[in-house]
Structure formats: C-alpha cells, structure tokens
Amino acid sequence: MTVMTLPALLDATELDALPRPAYAVEPGRQYPLGATVDDHGVNFAIFAPDATAVELLLFASHDDRSPIATVRLDPEVNRTFHFWHVYLRGLGDRAHYAYRVHGEDDPATGRRFDPEKVLIDPYSRANSKTLWNRGDACRPGDNLGSSIRSVVVDPRDFDWAGDRPLRKPMRDTVIYEMHVGGFTRSPTSGVKNPGTFSAVVEKIPYLKELGVTAVELLPVFEFDDTESRIVDGRRLTNYWGYSTMAYFAPHPGYCVKPEIGDHVNEFREMVKALHAADIEVILDVVFNHTDEGNHQGPMYSFKGFANSAYYYLVPEDKRFYYDYTGCGNTFNTNHPIGEKFILDCLRYWVEEMHVDGFRFDEASVLSRGEDGAPLPHPPVLWQIELDEVLVDTKVIAEAWDAAGLYQVGHFPGARWAEWNGRFRDDVRRFVRGDAGAEGGRSLVGSVAARMTGSADLYAWNNRLPVNSVNFVACHDGFTLNDLVSYDGKHNEANGEGNRDGVDDNMSWNCGVEGPAGPDVEALRDRQVKNFAAILMLSQGVPMILMGDEVRRSQGGNNNGWCQDTDISWFDWSKVSANDHIFRFFKEMIAFRKRHPAIHRSRYLQGSAGPVNARGLADITWHGTRVGAPDWSADSRVLAFTLAGPDDGSDLHVILNMYWEPLDFELPSVAGHGWCRAVDTALAAPQDIAAPGAEVSHPAATYRVEGRSVVVLVNRPI
C-alpha cells in the first residue's frame, strides 16, 4: 500500500467537504466499472484487455491543464484478467480524473493505443469540457492541456423524498418528444436559466395543462456541442445530440453549473419535479455509435481502451470501421463487453436517476452480431427485454438503421414498442388527400389498420396495440405546421445547398408555399387538427412533437440537427398566438383519456367478438352509408363506431379527406342519441367540446365538410 500526500483537490468555493489531503493507493477491485465512491475512498476500474500500462491522472479542478498526481497502475497488483483497477483511500466526491493507456499502436489489427491521448472513463458520471479541443484529439501528439476531465460522482448524495419511477401502463401513455435545450432556449421562454434541466421544471405547468403523461427527451447523455461552423451569420453545431461522448453523464450544456460537477443532481431535480407532476421521463439513447467517429475521428475514450472490442471493425483491414449508422462507426453492441456496458448504463439511469423508459435510436443496429449480420435472438435486446431491473421500464425502438435494415413489425422481443413509421406515412398521405392501393390494400384500408393498432404489423407474433408508437411528426423531418405549409424542404440554412434531409415528406402546403393569408391558414389549422384528432383516436401509443400543439415552424427546414437557433427553438409567443390549436390538442388528449375504447390493451375483434349492453361490437366499419365501408382504391372516406363500456358512451368517428362535403349516415343505437364532440371544420371553440358540453345532433345524417374529422358520442335519451 502506497500513501501519497496531495494538496486539496478542489477549491473551497467549489465544495464544502474537501477531500482528505492524504490518501492511500490500494489494489482495488475490477467491479463495478467506473469510479465508485464508498465511505472511505474511490475505486477506479476500466476494461482494457490489451493494454500494457495504465496511468490514472488526478486534477485539482476542472480547468487544470496538468495533473496534480499520476497513479501508475502495476499490472501485477492492479490488473485482474481484462480489467485494470485501483482504490484511492481518502479520495472523495467531485475529484477530477482521466487516463493514459499504453499498448500496441497497430490500427491494421485494431489496436489504437496512444498514451499521448488523455481519455475519459467510459463509465464517468460527469465530465468537464472546459479545456476541450476536438481537433487536438484527432491529431497526433499530446493533448493533455486540451482534454476532457471526468468527475467522481457519489450518487448516494441526493434526497429523492420518496420518488421512484412511475410505472404508468403503456396503453395510458401520451408522449411529448422534446429537446431539453430547445424547449426553453428562446428569449420568449421567460425562464431563469434557459436551455437547462432546471428550465424544464419551470415549464411543467404547461406540460401538465397540455395533458401529456411522458416527456421523451432527445439525447441528454453528454455530447460534443463545441465544434461549430458559421453559415450566413448563424453558428451551426451538434444541436440534436445524436453522437454520444459519455453514456453515464448528463450533458453539461443543460446544467446551470457544470464546472462544479453537479450534473447528476441537476438532472435528478428535473426528474423528481416531473414525477411530482405525474409525468414520466423517457430518454432517447444512442447505443448504435459513438462520437469518436471513424479512423479520422477523435480519440477520447473507447478507442483508447479497447478499440476492437467496442467497435465493429472491417475484418480485412481493421483500420476502418463498419458504418451501419451513417455516423462513422458502429458500436459492437453484442460483444460481451458492449452488452454489459449497455445494460450497466440502462440500470444506472433507472436505479440512480429514476427514469421511466428509453427510446433507442437506430435500434436495429442492436440486433446485429459481431459480423454485422442481423441475429435471430440478439443477446443485448433479449437481455434488456428480460432484465429484472428494467422489467417495468418502457423500451421503444426506432426499428431501422442507416444501412437499410428495416424491422418495423419484426423487431426482436415481445415487449419492445416501435416507432411506427408506417403510421406516419399512411396518415400523412391520407390527410393530404391521396388515394390509391399498394400491396393489395387501398390507402383507406391501411389507415384503418393504423388507427386500430396495426394488427397487420404486430399481431402475427402475439404483440399488442401498445407495441405501436404512433406519430405524424418527430424531431427528424417537418414539424406538423411545416407538413401543411411546405411542399418541399428548405434547408438552405444548414449550409449544404439544400441537399440534406428527406426529399419526400408526403406534405401539402394547402396551395401556397410558406406563410400565407387568412383563408389558407384557416385550412392549415384544420389539417393540423385532422392530424391531431386521428393520432389521438388511434389505438396504440400517441407521440406529439414539441411545439406541434402551437404550430411551431422551422421555416420548412426538415433536418434541424445543426440548428441550435430560433429555427429549432420553441417560440413561446405561439402559445398565445395559436391558443386555439393548443386548446384543441389539450381537449383531444383529455378526450382520449376519458374514453377507454380508444386505448384498449387488446386488438378490436369486430363482429367476431362480444357486444356491449347496447348491442354494439367493439368496432363496426362504415362509409357514407352505415355498414358499407368503401375500401376501394379511390376512397378518401372512412367511418367507424367504437363500442364503449356498458356504463359509458359509444363513439362514432367520421374521416372525410375528400375536398368536398359529404353526407354520412349515422348508426342507430336504441335509447341513445348522438352528440357532436369534435368537428375540425368548425372554428374554436366549437371545434371540440368540453366534457358535458357536447352538442346534440338528432338528425339521421351528418354533413361532414371536406378535409375534416367528426367525432360523435351517444347519450341516453
């Protein structure tokens, strides 16, 4: 045992409880990985099976360019098989540290050891990028003075006040996809610390009023937002955050005081406040690749510890990386250490940070084996599926990747929900006014399948409506406003000559490209309400994009990944300017919650199933005439009746995406009469009624205006 005497590791202004001025260096343990604090010191452990030497660097503060001590690990004492470890008795919370790792530098065999590069711990709970220079991590030479510092974090030091994950049923979930920074970064937000976790807390009353049950946060794991370029006077950077640097560390750019290493507690305060408002927290996670990129990218972590274990390398020449993600590299998710890393990370965010779920970016990558080919039973996906710590955690897959593997309806596992891209595409085309047929089914038939939980995609392997996350817009693509305002993308501000982004958005500008006069804007309001109504009336799990409820626009930019500007930010002036749209979304969400027939846990059976006390099957299909649905390729109309519970109300839904008004017959229910709850063709507040204020409609038919949705509820008469 070696005893070392050091000056205080942190300034007194940064931490009240200073670490002891002396500590003992002991062998330590190989588990758990990362920097683990106990009552007497800190255990450090890393995976580096081919390393020949490891140095642990200790820094006095976040902006020290040189370490105050270097602990050289002895392979005879501080190594157990694949792992290097050391215990520093007397060291405490908030200490700053990093590594240098020695070994063979032979990229052709997959080894990229470079002791001149300072590395952060893959398991670090917080990091400081005060000195960070990305270019220095890409070039040969020592980057000590411009490297990142990891921070020792003691997760025990937080008062949860009884908080825990909420475990809401998936069938009752309404998701709000949002960007932590962009939600409040606009000067219109009026918050104390714009763009931070704490600012989200200030806006919880807004989320509560809207009625969403969960926020799905674009990546909050640390990413590199320092690299930038200027285009037309705008600073472009990595705004979305889909290139992760550190998977256990909250992004410092969302913290009020990242320099003191309080990232973890700032995130926890947000989670605790959201839970207190009965709102779950789902994290968008990116395990398919890392920010180290390809052979020309920076080395700051995984490459320098175990390059050939953490990444898919080209077998013929391991200098190069397989790129199934479109981001330069692919994480080796089904290597034993990759699988362990992912499971350790997810468990940490559930157990220590109390998050309620995860959405996995390009999740199909996680189904690939070490040779890159899809596996029938991918170990990491099944481990997540079956893990006892994660059993009540929501898991959502983006069931495709950049290399063309598309698994919507076929993603491995049983409880995995999927972003249903088929829902998005079919509903967009239908509301645009398209008709036609594909694969032997008309578009209106496909819309019927989407609105009833996509049984054609999921029922074949005993999955359920909750396996379908339904959405019309998400962060990647047009906002809902832009979907009804632009025929083509307008990405010039991205500096790539409008070549980036998807070309076919299945959008319609209602006759004018971009901002228009009152008549066109009124039609756009109607189209936005049509999308909102269809989304909330569909079986499955609805997801709304941040700001769609107030017609947030990106000016036709459908690829805002680099726009940490007012192009992407939530403009809070829209809340009052478009309060009628906000009200429609709010009431539509509330309507969904009041009517269990819209969010069933099992598929609808129609005439093959039981009937309720009023003799109605769970669903009956119609067209303009009762009992006569039009499934033809030319059809643009669909109507259906949903049976409510014996002591509740039934619903009758009419969709007319033809551009002229049509008269629809209404079914007769003995002892009950129909009342109008929703008509998107009407101006607010008549477009949607508050509960109990529905308008009686005694006629046997209902005239439905072109491009509109009507919902009727029945009442005893």
Q: Hey, which residues are catalytic here?
A: 361, 398
From 392, 403, 393, 317, select the one nearest 367 (Cα to Cα): 403
Q: Which residue is associated with the tokens 């891209």?
A: 421
- The β-bridge partners of 419 are 469
Strands (E), 255-390: 280-285, 357-360
642: its two tokens: 């949903």
Helix (H, G, I), strand (E, B) or coil at 523: helix
- Locate 306 and state its tokens: 């175990």
Q: What is the rounded distance in angstroms from the CA atom of residue 487 to the CA atom of residue 47?
A: 51
Q: What are the tokens at 393?
A: 């955690």
* Beta pairing partners, 663: 703
First to last CA, the chain: 87
Q: How far apart are CA 209 and CA 202, in angstroms?
A: 13
CB 694 within 8 A of CB 714: no
Provide the b/e sequence for 566-599 (b: ≥16 CB within 10 Å).
bbbbbbbebbeebebbbbbbbbbbbbbeebebbb
The values of phi and psi at residue 467, to 5°, are -75, -10
Stretch (H or E) spanning 99: strand 96-102
Q: Are 368 and 381 in contact (CB under 8 A)?
A: no
**DSSP codes, 115-159:** TTS-B--TT-SEEE-TT--HHHHHSSS--GGG--EEE---TT---
Question: E strands within 488-601?
Answer: 541-545
- The SS3 assignment for 114 reads coil
Token match 């060291």: residue? 91
Q: What is the DSSP letter of 575?
A: H
Compute the Cα dihedral for 409, 412, 413, 417 and give only its sign. negative
Q: Which two tokens stand for residue 97?
A: 């540290």
Q: Where are the alpha helices (DSSP H) in 247-354?
A: 263-276, 302-310, 336-351
C-alpha to C-alpha distances, 455 to 238, 489, 640, nearest whole angstrom: 38, 33, 17
C-alpha to C-alpha distances, 487 to 426, 428, 472, 562, nearest whole angstrom: 17, 13, 16, 22
For 157-160, the CB contacts below 8 A with 24+ separation are 157/93, 157/265, 158/264, 158/265, 158/268, 160/268, 160/272, 160/354
Q: Are 378 and 412 in contact (CB under 8 A)?
A: yes
